[in-house]
Amino acid sequence: MKLIWGKLFALIGVLTALVINPQSVSGRELIKIPPGSYQSAYRNEGDPVQVQVDGFLMDALPVTNDQFFNFVKDDQRWRRSARNDLLADSHYLSHWKGDLDPAGPNHYLDSPVTNVSWFAAVEYCRSRGKRLPTINEWEYAASAGLTMLEGSGELGFNQYVLEWYSRPAPPVLPAVGNSARNFFGIGDMHGLIWEWVLDFNSILVSGESRGDGGLERELFCGAGAIRSANVNDYPAFMRFGLRSSLQARYTVNNLGFRCAADLLGSGINEND
Amino acid sequence: MKNYLKRILLLTGVLLFIFDAGVLAEQPLQVPLAYAPDAGKALTRSPGKVRVDLETKEVTGRLADGVEYNFWTFGGTVPGPIIRIVEGDEVEFHLNNHPSSKMPHNIDLHAVTGPGGGAAASLTAPGHTSTFSFKALSAGLYVYHCATAPVGMHIANGMYGLILVEPEGGLPPVDREFYVVQSDFYTKGKYGQEGLQPFSMEKAIDEHADYVVFNGSVGAMVGDNAVRAKVGETVRLFIGNGGPNLVSSFHVIGEIFDTVYTEGGILPNQKNVQSTLIPAGGSAIVEFKVEVPGTLILVDHSIFRAFNKGAIAMIKVEGEDNSTVYSGKQADTIYLPEGGAIQEVLVASEESLTPMSHQERLSRGQRLYEQNCAACHQMEGQGIVGVFPPLASSDYLMEDLERAIGIVINGLEGEIIVNGERYNNIMPSQRLNDSDIANVIGYISNAWGNESRLYSAPEVATIRASLKSH
């Protein structure tokens, strides 16, 4: 019974949102994330176990193909046909039918845009008066559960996240916004795509994962000595692993992004 | 003078062209990959420049009948292909991570001397390729695996295989070579629980394996998929243990290893071995001559893994009997320590080792029925009116199948009424194990117009126990 009311409520919510602000369901809303802290799987020597994060604004959902299409429509430098090999590899937007045709057989217009390089993601966010979130901001926002601040304390949260990482990529990438929002009101942090972050290569796992955090750590790790704070946080290991395998010009089939902004001075009204 | 210059230029051009062609001729030799249980071809060539292309791919596949798993693989299979090179080869290694991959992957080849065995040089994002080179300094049979964090999970999901660095001139020739890798899997559901089973991090950390298998799934190398050899042939097995956790007590039922290269080294250092220990992330080469026909069964002799977790593979040997080496059963007589009447029909049967599908259970039940029951109840279950009660469309049978199971266990004596007909006879108790009783009752209750669910072996065990306690 409770479930039915919940669904009804959600339906009314969605319909109202559609009428009042058609943009909010397509993920353009910015969510205010309060200051707080999270436990990082990797950290620099001397860093506290709990990483403090200032308050910031973050897109509720990842950037979609449709939204990215509007960006390249306005800025032809970022069209596929104008690709600069230094700024994006040859898979850049390769899932689109054409330069200005964001459709394709393996995604929807509302699916998160993938096959975009870090440079392109940075430029997109800048054009919207925003920026990419930092590792700490992203990890902090992603650590929230559905009903509580710390997802790790929520029954089934870790297993759910882990299971997504274990599954092969689906043949058709689903649209954004189909899963429940987390405690902060943010959706699709887990279960849809990987996401670029601003400082993705500031903490490098070497690829020789068994040496990281060991005696040889200085040898491989770009940001100086790092070590693991929580050896059981497998999803975080995977994210750090993926980030370390990337270069800024790389594009990947299931790697997209969302934007963030500072609370002050961003020029963005958080209620937009 | 100008003409002279032209000639020099032309000559230089030609020389450059020849030089170029020379470089092209030195293109490294592509190493063929072989997929288990195929071990590929033995090498006779001398060392040189070679190239290996290996793809990492994430696929959903069969772990056991009715059980699926999200495998992370080298080459699309578990184990990954066996890579055969020669000691002294200079290997150009290309690791290609398929664009559909979700994960970055890399490779640690235990055959590589250098940091991470190549792992540090081969971390590869989805849709990208990493290239590194190494020289195969030492001959031996080595494991390769993915070493990307969290390394245990990448291995637990299936990312391992073997690379054989053959000594120059090769290993001594044999008639057959096979490639087998043992490994353990950790699933959210218990062994045999149907559906797509996700990886269980908890069980993996606790080292409580749900599955222990040869070549990536339960039954990958049994029945029609068993490998074959002929009497008199010599067989060599390249055995790896991918882990991630368990050490294998590798044994072949019905054989003695003539030669073992323990731990995958290149020295044939032991003769006449029954079981050889294979560490996780290690290997062994075993050789034996097959002397008699029959089925050789490969097991992990940590035997519950074979019996309950899937660690079984088979080699079927065909050819002439040799009764001097092995006679088969020569006599079967009754042994009565205390004298007295025969209480039981002495037909013991071995417990089935592999989990069976619904259809397999029914066909096994049918075989058991034809061997043990059909003589009285008749082939079509029609019985003989007034003497042996019918099972086909039988009210007495179908109204209480648990009673029927009890009758198979303990036998029955006295008057009963079946389909309105009176019967007064004796049925002896049947010496069948629980799963066989479950299967034979399953067959009877689903044949000749009967229809019912299948009872499981544990249910039969419960009924057996309750009968004993009465």
CB contact under 8 A, B58 and A237: no
By C-alpha distance, the chain B residue nearest A209 is B149
- Residue A263 and residue A30: Cα distance in Å, rounded? 11
- Residue B54: C-alpha distances to residues A166, B32, B97, B230, B281 (Å): 21, 10, 9, 33, 19
Question: Which member of A168, A212, A250 has the closest CB to residue B70?
Answer: A168
Number of A/B CB contacts below 8 angstroms equals: 113
Q: How many residues would you count in chain A? A: 272
Average pLDDT over residues A187-216: 74
Classified as helix, coil or strand, B119 is: helix
Considering only residues 62 to 91 of chain B, which have any Cβ-Cβ distance to chain A shorter than 8 Å?
70
Residue that the structure tokens 């089973």 belong to:
B197
DSSP symbols for B59-70: EEEEEETTEEEE
Phi-psi region of A188 (alpha: psi -120 to 50; beta: other; left: phi over 0): left
Q: Does residue B166 contact residue B190 with C-beta atoms inside 8 Å?
A: no
CB contact under 8 A, A252 and B150: no
- Nearest CA distance, A236 vs chain B (angstrom): 9
- Nearest CA distance, B250 vs chain A (angstrom): 28
A164 or A3: which carries more pLDDT confidence?
A: A164
Closest by CA position to B235, among listed B308, B318, B149: B318
Q: Which residues of A touch B59 (CB under 8 A)?
A: 168
Residue B285 clears pLDDT 80, i.e. is over it: yes
Q: What is the pLDDT of residues A64-82, one digit of tens each?
A: 999 999 999 999 999 999 9
Which H or E run contains B440? Answer: helix B434-444
CB contact under 8 A, B120 and A238: no
CB contact under 8 A, B123 and A169: no
**Tokens coding A139:** 């990890």
* Half-sphere CA count of B438, side-chain side, radius 13 A: 21
Cis amide leading into B389 (omega within 30): no
Q: Which residues of A touch B125 (CB under 8 A)?
A: 242, 245-246, 250, 252
How sure is the predictor about A212, in pLDDT bands with cuts at 50, 70 and 90?
low
Average pLDDT over residues B61-81: 95
By C-alpha distance, the chain A residue nearest B56 is A168
CB contact under 8 A, B198 and A207: no
Average pLDDT over residues A42-46: 65
CB contact under 8 A, B60 and A168: yes
Is 0.95 surpassed by the pTM of this model? no
Q: Which of A151-165, B19-33, B387-401 is most confident? A: B387-401
pLDDT at A211: 57
CB contact under 8 A, B201 and A234: yes
Closest by CA position to B138, among listed B85, B178, B65: B85
CB contact under 8 A, B148 and A209: yes
Question: Which member of B60, B104, B157 has the closest CB to residue A241?
Answer: B104
Q: What is the pLDDT of residues B94-114, one digit of tens each?
A: 999 999 899 999 999 999 998
Question: Which member of B58, B59, B149 has the closest CB to residue A212?
Answer: B149
Which H or E run contains B417? Answer: strand B412-418
- Strand extents, DSSP E, B233-327: 234-243, 248-253, 257-261, 270-273, 275-278, 282-289, 294-300, 312-318
Residue A6 clears pLDDT 70, i.e. is over it: no
Label residue B121 exposed, middle or buried (CB < 10 Å: 0-12, 13-18, 19+). Answer: buried
Q: How many residues would you count in chain B? A: 470
Q: What is the longest distance spanned by two Cα atoms in chain A?
A: 59
How sure is the predictor about B12, in pLDDT bands with cuts at 50, 70 and 90?
low
